[in-house]
């Protein structure tokens, strides 16, 4: 299970640290082809206005280039570039239909087919409108706003991409939203129908933010993420990264957050996932009820702790009022509750999983992390006979028809051994009491209500 994000430094183009060259005190020269017409006019309050008609091309110190079909410069007030605008320096390029810059406010407005590109990483931001606010005394960090449903393709720098393995770690993160905000080179926020994807991973929310310093990603309101291994949903998803990999993720919801993985589904108001080298190795669900569903069985408790080292499910621990019950099957037909299905209760229940044997020609054969995991053993613990179990066995009724028998017991510790989802054997420890019920007429002299006896199991007292 992998979910990797490029560092925000990969798109530091968004800081737009250099405003258009003419407003930064740089030395600029008009280069051929010269404008068809250039007019200098005085204005009110002594303002001087220069009109450039025809293609204009400025080359400035520091390697900055500015091009446009025409330009209007009001000295000390504003610079307006109109038609096929291009701005480029050693770090980034910006193209748009029109750009207005107000130096006194340190604000730039670009509109119409805006494309902002980082030269080194080739990251791009596309949208109909962009607003840039330069850093200053009242604004410690530069702020860039992109509106009108922009599309961002954020790539790691080429040096980082070359050092990364040839998998999702080198792939770009694509983001769509109603608008995006960037603060300096460390903080990114997207609002309104946020959608993102990276390789096979994708997700959505109403709002998303990423803090590079804390390596923290937060998705809010209707959040979900998924890849080929899992799907996680919640009102809020908060992820902490370590480089290009997930380190820890939490999902919260007023009702329930839900993780659907290959071998396990967990629901709880609070979910926490721990990763190692980008792979899930532990999942904790808290809040009432916490629910885990693994193939044929369903576990509920105050909290659930699932251990999956190497992304292979090994144990699910249910703590506090724990209940494990088998999902409906053919044996429950005609039986009343609570004996219509197998169940196990205790203060704590532990489920142990093993790999389901794969066909020899299967592509997953020999890979225990990829092979399906099945529940092979359930252990319930409860002091003073607090562990209880009810499970059914196959029997024959009158006329040879198959009807289930029922075993119920209490003990300090009960272990159920399963095969193909059915209980095949049981062990009990401590003070053991039980009752066995069989279909009427299946044994001479059998009372239909059953008999109380030592259970057909291995018991240690």
pLDDT for 323 equals 95
CB atoms within 10 A of CB 53: 14
Specify the pLDDT at position 405. Answer: 76
Place of tokens 């109403």: 206
Q: Is the peptide bond before 436 cis (omega within 30 degrees of 0)?
A: no
The total of other beta-carbon atoms located within 10 Å of residue 318's CB is 29
Q: State whether the Cα torsion 118-119-123-128 is positive or negative.
A: positive
Exposure b/e, 86-108, CB count within 10 A at least 16 = b: bbbbebbbbbbbbbbbbbeebbb
Residue 300 and residue 91: Cα distance in Å, rounded? Answer: 55
119 and 90 in contact (C-beta within 8 Å)? yes
CA 432 to chain centroid, in Å, comes to 46
pLDDT at 244: 66
- One digit per residue, the tens of pLDDT, for the chain of length 461 reads 344 433 333 333 333 333 344 444 556 777 877 777 878 887 666 678 888 888 888 887 777 888 899 988 887 788 899 999 998 888 888 999 999 988 778 788 999 999 998 888 888 999 999 998 877 777 788 888 999 999 998 876 544 444 444 444 457 888 999 999 988 778 889 999 999 888 888 899 999 998 877 888 899 999 999 887 889 999 999 988 876 678 899 999 998 999 998 888 999 999 999 988 778 889 999 988 899 998 778 999 999 999 998 888 899 999 999 999 887 665 555 566 666 778 899 999 999 998 876 655 555 444 545 567 888 999 999 988 899 998 877 665 556 566 667 888 999 999 999 887 778 888 999 989 988 877 665 443 343 444 444 444 444 44
pTM of the model: 0.77
Among residues 55, 78, 50, which one has the least CA distance to residue 66?
55
Q: How far apart are CA 461 and CA 455, in angstroms?
A: 13
DSSP-assigned states of every residue in 300-329:
EEEEEEEE-GGG---EEEEEEEEEEEEPP-
pLDDT at residue number 331: 53
Structure tokens belonging to residue 34: 């010269």
């Amino acid at each position: 299970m992998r979910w990797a994000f490029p560092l925000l430094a990969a798109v530091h183009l968004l800081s737009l640290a250099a405003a258009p060259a003419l407003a930064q005190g740089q030395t600029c020269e008009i280069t051929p082809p010269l404008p068809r017409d250039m007019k200098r006019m005085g204005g009110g309050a002594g303002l001087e206005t220069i009109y450039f008609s025809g293609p204009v091309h400025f080359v400035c110190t520091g390697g900055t280039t500015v091009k446009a079909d025409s330009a209007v410069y009001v000295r000390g007030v504003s610079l307006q570039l109109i038609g096929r605008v291009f701005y480029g320096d050693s770090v980034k390029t910006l193209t748009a239909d029109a750009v207005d810059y107000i130096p006194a406010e340190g604000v730039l407005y670009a509109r119409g087919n805006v494309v902002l590109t980082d030269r080194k990483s080739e990251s791009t931001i596309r949208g109909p409108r962009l607003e840039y606010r330069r850093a200053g005394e009242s604004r410690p960090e530069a702020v860039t706003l992109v509106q009108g449903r922009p599309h961002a393709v954020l790539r790691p720098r080429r040096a980082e991409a070359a050092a990364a393995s040839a998998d999702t770690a080198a792939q770009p993160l694509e983001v769509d939203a109603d608008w995006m905000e960037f603060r300096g080179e460390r903080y990114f926020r997207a609002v309104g129908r946020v959608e993102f994807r990276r390789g096979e991973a994708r997700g959505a929310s109403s709002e998303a933010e990423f803090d590079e310093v804390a390596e923290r990603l937060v998705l809010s309101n209707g959040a979900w993420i998924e890849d080929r291994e899992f799907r996680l949903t919640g009102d809020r998803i908060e992820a902490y990264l370590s480089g290009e990999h997930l380190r820890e993720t939490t999902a919260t919801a007023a009702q329930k957050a839900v993780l659907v993985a290959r071998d396990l589904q967990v629901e709880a108001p609070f979910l926490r996932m721990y990763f190692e080298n980008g792979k899930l190795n532990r999942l904790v669900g808290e809040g009432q009820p916490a629910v885990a569903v693994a193939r044929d069985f369903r576990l509920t408790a105050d909290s659930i702790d699932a251990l999956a080292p190497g992304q292979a499910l090994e144990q699910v621990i249910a703590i506090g009022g724990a209940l494990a019950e088998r999902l409906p099957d053919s044996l429950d037909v005609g039986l009343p509750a609570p004996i219509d299905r197998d169940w196990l209760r205790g203060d704590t229940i532990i489920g142990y999983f093993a790999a389901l044997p794969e066909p020899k020609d299967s592509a997953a054969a020999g890979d225990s992390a990829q092979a399906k995991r099945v529940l092979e053993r359930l252990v319930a613990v409860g002091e003073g006979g607090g562990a209880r179990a009810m499970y059914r066995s196959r029997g024959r009724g009158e006329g040879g028809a198959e009807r289930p028998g029922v075993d119920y017991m209490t003990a300090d510790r009960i272990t159920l051994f399963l095969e193909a989802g059915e209980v095949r054997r049981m062990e009990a420890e401590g003070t053991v009491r039980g009752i066995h019920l069989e279909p009427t007429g299946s044994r001479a002299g059998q009372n239909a209500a059953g008999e109380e006896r030592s259970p057909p199991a291995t018991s240690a007292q």
